[in-house]
């Protein structure tokens, strides 16, 4: 069980005058109005530094706080592998099933939390979806954060993904260009999907291996929208195998996708998507070098042959998966990060 968390948000002008109950029930639909009423009555919600009541009217600019009591988070694989580390950058392998950042029911069962137990200064510079395994780049200094952020904005970070999709695409190489933005979902509130009011998004796809009713594809994304690969491949009629949210067509019609032989769009559908970020490269601060980081195609964490003594120590040459540095870390019973065999 974690220690709970205080969620704070500033009230926008558009919500001024609403009651606390109405605001929470409409804006945070993961919980019903009855549940929010119980939380307010239990003193978990505060406004203006005091306990809120259901009828309190909100004012623009003030802070609303929900002090969520401790809760038991879902079980996830609490481990990661160090692929690269210097004074500025840290690159780790995230396993499938582990969220990158706190969200929803996850707070401590996240990559951010377990990485910071070993490397407190590390800040993730991008994210991978919970169902995606792959490389996540962390910055360890202000200079690195600024440099990597600029590199991401200007397209100087290359990320290559591989995914198992349903069906076999008509073309061996094609591009998908459809805008992506938030759309209403009956259970989840708003989720990202193909939307003509969304932001421009482009995905380049190359077919690597063909099976009878599925294919392994490689995808690169010059634009980085939430769930872009899942959404675009579903839009092309080839959703990821096991994707619980995005299916071909998505149950509603839409204009033709700009890819040969495909017309359905990707909107949220009522186990796990099979995707992995297999390769990543990014410029290093104060260096012209571009570290090139690879993961096995099955997305499993690479394992060193020798036990690692302490966080940040180097593994002897000969570590599997053709990686120069591989350390594995997982939470110990004392709550600190400890290397695994």
Contact of 328 with 313, CB cutoff 8 Å: no
322: phi > 0 → left, psi -120 to 50 → alpha, else beta; which? left
Angle at Cα 57 formed by Cα 54 and Cα 59, nearest 5°? Answer: 135
pTM for this one? 0.70
Cβ contacts of residue 131 below 8 Å, gap of 6+? 96, 97, 242, 243, 272, 273, 275
- What is the model's pLDDT at position 124? 96
Q: What is the dihedral of CA 134, 290, 292, 137, to 10 degrees?
A: -20
What domains are there in the chain, each with its CATH number?
Answer: 5-68 (3.10.290.10), 80-157+282-339 (no CATH), 161-268 (3.30.2350.10)
- What is the model's pLDDT at position 295? 65
- What is the model's pLDDT at position 18? 97
Euclidean distance between CA atoms 127 and 189, whole angstroms: 21
- What is the model's pLDDT at position 113? 96
β-bridge pairing 158-166 and 189-194: unpaired
Contact of 36 with 21, CB cutoff 8 Å: yes
Q: pLDDT by residue for the chain (341 residues), tens digit each? A: 999 999 999 999 999 999 999 999 999 988 999 999 999 999 999 999 999 999 999 999 999 999 999 999 999 999 999 999 999 999 999 998 999 999 878 999 999 999 999 999 999 999 888 888 889 999 999 999 999 999 888 888 888 899 999 999 999 999 999 999 998 877 777 889 999 999 999 999 999 999 889 999 999 998 888 889 999 999 999 999 888 888 875 323 233 333 333 333 344 433 345 555 555 555 555 555 556 666 655 555 655 433 333 333 333 333 222 333 344 454 432 333 333 33
Contact of 257 with 239, CB cutoff 8 Å: no
Euclidean distance between CA atoms 94 and 133, whole angstroms: 5
């Amino acid at each position: 069980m974690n220690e709970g968390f205080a969620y704070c948000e500033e009230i926008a002008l558009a919500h001024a005058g609403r009651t606390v109950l109405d605001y929470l029930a409409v804006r945070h639909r993961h919980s019903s109005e009855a549940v929010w009423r119980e939380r307010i009555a239990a003193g978990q919600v505060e406004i203006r530094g005091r306990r809120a009541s259901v009828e309190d009217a909100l004012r623009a600019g003030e802070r609303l706080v929900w002090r969520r009591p401790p809760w038991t988070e879902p079980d996830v694989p609490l481990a990661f592998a160090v692929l690269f580390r210097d004074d500025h950058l840290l690159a780790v392998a995230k396993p499938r099933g582990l969220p990158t950042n706190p969200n929803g029911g996850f707070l401590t069962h996240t990559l951010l939390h377990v990485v910071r137990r070993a490397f407190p200064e590390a800040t993730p510079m991008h994210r991978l979806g919970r169902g995606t395994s792959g490389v996540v780049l962390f910055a360890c200094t202000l200079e690195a954060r600024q440099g990597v952020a600029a590199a991401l904005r200007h397209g100087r970070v290359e990320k290559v993904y591989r995914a198992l999709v349903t069906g076999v695409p008509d073309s061996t190489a094609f591009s998908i260009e459809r805008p992506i933005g938030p759309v209403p979902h009956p259970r989840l509130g708003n989720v990202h999907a193909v939307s003509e009011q969304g932001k421009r998004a482009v995905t380049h796809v190359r077919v690597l291996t063909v099976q009878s009713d599925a294919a392994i594809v490689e995808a690169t994304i010059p634009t980085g929208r939430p769930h872009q690969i899942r959404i675009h491949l579903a839009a092309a009629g080839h959703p990821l195998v096991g994707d619980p949210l995005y299916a071909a067509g998505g149950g509603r019609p839409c204009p033709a996708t700009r890819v040969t032989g495909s017309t359905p769009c990707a909107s949220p559908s009522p186990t796990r998507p099979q995707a992995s970020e297999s390769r990543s490269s990014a410029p290093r601060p104060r260096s012209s070098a571009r570290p090139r980081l690879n993961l096995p195609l099955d997305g499993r964490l690479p394992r060193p042959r020798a036990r690692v003594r302490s966080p940040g120590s180097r593994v002897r040459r000969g570590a599997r998966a053709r990686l120069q540095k591989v350390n594995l870390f997982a939470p110990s019973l004392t709550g600190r990060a400890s290397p695994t065999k």
